[in-house]
Amino acid sequence: AQTVTQSQPEMSVQEAETVTLSCTYDTSENNYYLFWYKQPPSRQMILVIRQEAYKQQNATENRFSVNFQKAAKSFSLKISDSQLGDTAMYFCAFMFSPFGTGANSKLTFGKGITLSVRP
């Protein structure tokens, strides 16, 4: 079974600063995907970024980038130029990817981290 750990329950950052959210996971699988989702006070879960485990290059999406360390099973999210709208709960999630045409859509989530951006 896979587990996802987010050890920091809360973080705070000044507007325009950079913040890094940590995530570690445990799995015996070799093929998988990792995600960061954002859940603002509206409770709508929004995809922030995704990383394929077979890719060595770290994913980036505008102000969001990840530091994926497969050997260490670490997957941190860096938010640059933090904005007030980044205030939300952030969830790290794991999805096993069966080799070939196997099917799996189960996301395993961490407990989440509450990020507050201060004006």
Partner 1 sequence: KAGVTQTPRYLIKTRGQQVTLSCSPISGHRSVSWYQQTPGQGLQFLFEYFSETQRNKGNFPGRFSGRQFSNSRSEMNVSTLELGDSALYLCASSLGNRIFFQGTDTQYFGPGTRLTVL
Judged by the rule CB under 8 A, the positions of this chain that interact with partner 1 are 31-33, 35, 37, 42-47, 50, 54, 91, 95-112
**Closer of 17 and 54 to partner 1 (Cβ):** 54
Any bridge partners for residue 53, and if so which?
Answer: none
Coil, strand or helix: which one is 6? coil
**Closer of 30 and 116 to partner 1 (Cβ):** 30
Give the shortest CB-83-to-partner 1 separation in angstroms.
21
Cβ within 8 Å of residue 72, ≥6 positions away: 24
Give the shortest CB-57-to-partner 1 separation in angstroms.
16
**Closer of 86 and 94 to partner 1 (Cβ):** 94
Inter-CA distances, 20 with 32, 108, 110, Å: 22, 21, 16
CB 35 within 8 A of CB 59: no
Of the candidates 85, 72, 109, 91, the residue with the CA atom closest to the CA atom of residue 8: 91
**Closer of 87 and 112 to partner 1 (Cβ):** 112
